[in-house]
A and B are shown apart, each in its own frame.
Chain A
């Protein structure tokens, strides 16, 4: 149906059929197609999952994965330009808001300028960086970009490129972030309440926030570029270090993506083990969320309570995987080693241990007047905006958007367990908080159903020592602790991936900070950041 509609409307678009449709269109009709995909009632592609900047050798371009939250179908939309000297593409940031930061990322990595994008500056790298690292001909010589020990200049005015009419001349325009007489406060990158090295520039009117400008890149480690020179098993190690609080889930996504591309079926036992570990990981992450949010808001005792219980989860994971934080447990085709004989027994003990603790959490923090007043009705995110910005995970669910990947496209053994998708509709800081606390209980419920039923069998299937993925592009996502974590791999049949892109759940979370904080007090910015619970190395990659 989708295919027919698009073929009729856009006969010149080339369409590849595969697991998902891939539509390639010339730049001239790219925007028109994008608008059609979003606005047509039968298609309604309103969620841009991930946008990947590509260097195909002879051309540069972007490939975006779109999803319809209403009809649950997905497709790839692709466009390209052959001009490598001065690549320009039309923007879609006004169609899907999440494209705003994504296009800045593409500009940063590949130097593609997006016409009519409001703010075309680098997202991660310094603004005096030479070259575009994800181009295949990038000069990685450290002499070109030495470690500079002076701070980069921060500009209040950024460039944007505008085309007046269709095919018209492109002119550079100034985009004013902050006016001359605005009162701008710098928060970060070294700040205890930004959860890592994130930098905000906040314009204030008294103590009311007028605008927040997010500056990322203070922990941009270039993982995607590194993956291009690593074999598939080697790339696994880097995923754990993206969002270290969802180490196991990230790696699960990459393993599944590679397994799917290889057509490898993993044993049932592996699925069970992976799901159990995913949920343990979610528990440890949400417990840390609770601790740090409370700490940010001044409740230091809560920090100790949360960490006390989190250590118990880490103990269970450590016994089996050998790692506390970063486990390196999933491998292609299974897991690294079989579960420890104590695992089942210890998980059961923990299942009994945690619920009274959660009750205690509610007593010390949730019911507290100060906590309630600082969280309730603050930083409201609407469902439409959650989808437009792609803020999935607990944040999206707190705004009433049913976006749990575990429910919508089940992986592991999530289709065999009974669990509720926690959805609240208020969209404020308090509902983001309560969704996570309730998800802790739901994770316990999932574990309860799984621990006794782990089937016998192998913990891994044998794979060839040299793994080559068949030519094509693949995408697979999981529900990580903070939202949908996806892996996009483009393979040319080599033992190295041609391009790997990680769909970070945290980048959309950061992009909504401005909107949530506007009109609130500066102190609420910290609470909003705390409830969004982003992990900076994950968004910076």
Chain B
């Protein structure tokens, strides 16, 4: 796939809507170049998508080509979490805790139908209807399970997102956080 063809994500354009400072903007770009090319995922998988995630890490697909390099077993060392697989009621607090344990800046990728919306198990009494009900999700990768190419596409989308983020030069446009019935931010 050519790089230009990646430019199909309107959301990323919105993040840049408020312009860039010439001097510190460049500094941001340097920082983000480094950050986006060494995103380390957390070793986390609950079901089928986890096997495809392993396949992406293995010899044929090899995500270390793009800087994902190694998966980390400890959330303290990970930059993003691939929620690969179904999240059920009993697992939800564990996932939330894992996310809370990760150091900022942190990202979430929802992999597969189950993590996106509950997928084929949406009607079950014990399945969470998408991880975005408990975590803020950055990239959604649909599929059941998604092909390794799709996983890679999603992960590279995350890199692009990291690249347009800013620390120094201005602010990214932020969506207001929505609140649930109890008034807690989600």
Binding site for B on A (CB under 8 A): 124-126, 133, 138, 140, 145, 147-152, 189-192, 196-197, 217-223, 225-226, 229, 237-238, 241, 244-245, 288, 291, 303-305, 307-308, 310-311, 324-326, 536-537
When C-beta atoms are compared, the residue in chain A nearest to B145 turns out to be A325
When C-beta atoms are compared, the residue in chain A nearest to B133 turns out to be A147
A237 touches B120 (CB 8 A): yes
Chain B residues contacting A138 (CB-CB under 8 Å) are 125
A196 touches B126 (CB 8 A): no
B47 touches A219 (CB 8 A): yes
Residue from B93, B97, B121 within 8 A of A226 (CB atoms): B121
A244 touches B43 (CB 8 A): no
Residue from A151, A189, A245 within 8 A of B51 (CB atoms): A245
B85 touches A226 (CB 8 A): no
Nearest chain A CB to B117 CB, angstrom units: 14
Residue from B52, B88, B93, B96 within 8 A of A221 (CB atoms): B88
A133 touches B126 (CB 8 A): yes
Chain B residues contacting A152 (CB-CB under 8 Å) are 90, 93
Nearest chain A CB to B38 CB, angstrom units: 19
A196 touches B88 (CB 8 A): no
Chain B residues contacting A324 (CB-CB under 8 Å) are 52, 55, 147
A148 touches B89 (CB 8 A): yes
Please tell me if B164 contacts chain A, counting CB pairs below 8 Å. no
Query: With A196-B46, A241-B47, A307-B54 given, is the CB distance from A222 to B60 under 8 Å?
Result: no
Chain A residues contacting B159 (CB-CB under 8 Å) are none
B89 touches A190 (CB 8 A): no
Return 16 A-B CB contacts under 8 Å, by A number: A126-B90, A151-B97, A191-B73, A197-B94, A220-B88, A222-B121, A226-B121, A229-B123, A244-B51, A244-B145, A288-B51, A304-B58, A311-B59, A311-B60, A324-B52, A537-B47
Chain A residues contacting B47 (CB-CB under 8 Å) are 196, 219, 241, 244, 536-537
Q: How far is the CA of A152 from the CA of B88 in the complex (A)?
A: 13
B58 touches A537 (CB 8 A): no
Residue from B46, B71, B73, B123 within 8 A of A218 (CB atoms): B46
B59 touches A325 (CB 8 A): no
Residue from A145, A219, A237, A310 within 8 A of B85 (CB atoms): A219
B92 touches A190 (CB 8 A): no
A303 touches B46 (CB 8 A): no
Interface size on B, residues (CB 8 A): 42
Nearest chain A CB to B113 CB, angstrom units: 10
Nearest chain B CB to A384 CB, angstrom units: 33
Residue from A148, A226, A291 within 8 A of B123 (CB atoms): A226
B120 touches A241 (CB 8 A): yes
A190 touches B52 (CB 8 A): no
Residue from B52, B120, B126 within 8 A of A238 (CB atoms): B120
Chain B residues contacting A225 (CB-CB under 8 Å) are 124-125
Please tell me if B15 contacts chain A, counting CB pairs below 8 Å. no
Residue from A189, A220, A288 within 8 A of B126 (CB atoms): A220
Please tell me if B12 contacts chain A, counting CB pairs below 8 Å. no
A125 touches B93 (CB 8 A): no
Q: How far is the CA of A219 from the CA of B96 in the complex (A)?
A: 15
Nearest chain A CB to B51 CB, angstrom units: 6
Nearest chain B CB to A220 CB, angstrom units: 6
Residue from B51, B73, B94 within 8 A of A192 (CB atoms): B73
B93 touches A149 (CB 8 A): yes
Query: With A219-B91, A220-B88, A303-B58 given, is the CB distance from A196 to B50 under 8 Å?
Result: yes
Residues 55-77 of B contacting A (Cβ, < 8 Å): 55, 58-60, 71, 73, 75
When C-beta atoms are compared, the residue in chain A nearest to B124 turns out to be A222
Q: Which applies to chain B's interface (DSSP): helix, strand, loop or mixed?
A: loop
When C-beta atoms are compared, the residue in chain A nearest to B54 turns out to be A307
B46 touches A223 (CB 8 A): no
Residue from A125, A140, A223 within 8 A of B90 (CB atoms): A125
Residue from B75, B124, B126 within 8 A of A125 (CB atoms): B126
Q: How far is the CA of A191 from the CA of B43 in the complex (A)?
A: 8
Nearest chain A CB to B29 CB, angstrom units: 34
Chain A residues contacting B125 (CB-CB under 8 Å) are 133, 138, 140, 145, 222, 225
Nearest chain A CB to B119 CB, angstrom units: 9
Nearest chain B CB to A323 CB, angstrom units: 9
Residue from A124, A125, A218, A288 within 8 A of B94 (CB atoms): A218
Nearest chain B CB to A118 CB, angstrom units: 23
Contact with A along B90-132 (1 / 0, CB 8 A): 1111101110000000000000000000001101111110000
Please tell me if B137 contacts chain A, counting CB pairs below 8 Å. no
Report the 10 A-B pairs with minimum CB-CB distance, sorted nearest first.
A307-B58, A222-B124, A244-B48, A308-B59, A537-B47, A304-B59, A222-B126, A151-B93, A192-B43, A218-B91
Q: How far is the CA of A539 from the CA of B102 in the complex (A)?
A: 29
Chain B residues contacting A229 (CB-CB under 8 Å) are 123
Q: How far is the CA of A241 from the CA of B134 in the complex (A)?
A: 23
Chain B residues contacting A148 (CB-CB under 8 Å) are 89, 92-93
A217 touches B59 (CB 8 A): no
Q: How far is the CA of A244 from the CA of B43 in the complex (A)?
A: 19
When C-beta atoms are compared, the residue in chain B nearest to A304 turns out to be B59
Chain A residues contacting B85 (CB-CB under 8 Å) are 219, 537
Chain B residues contacting A220 (CB-CB under 8 Å) are 88, 90, 126
Nearest chain B CB to A459 CB, angstrom units: 24
Chain A residues contacting B45 (CB-CB under 8 Å) are 196
4 A-B pairs besides A125-B90, A197-B94 with CB distance below 8 A are: A221-B88, A221-B126, A307-B55, A308-B58
Please tell me if B144 contacts chain A, counting CB pairs below 8 Å. yes
Please tell me if B36 contacts chain A, counting CB pairs below 8 Å. no
Q: How far is the CA of A539 from the CA of B125 in the complex (A)?
A: 17
Query: With A151-B93, A308-B58 given, is the CB distance from A221 to B50 under 8 Å?
Result: no
When C-beta atoms are compared, the residue in chain B nearest to A303 turns out to be B58
Q: How far is the CA of A136 from the CA of B58 in the complex (A)?
A: 45
When C-beta atoms are compared, the residue in chain B nearest to A222 turns out to be B124
Nearest chain B CB to A213 CB, angstrom units: 16
Q: How far is the CA of A304 from the CA of B62 in the complex (A)?
A: 10
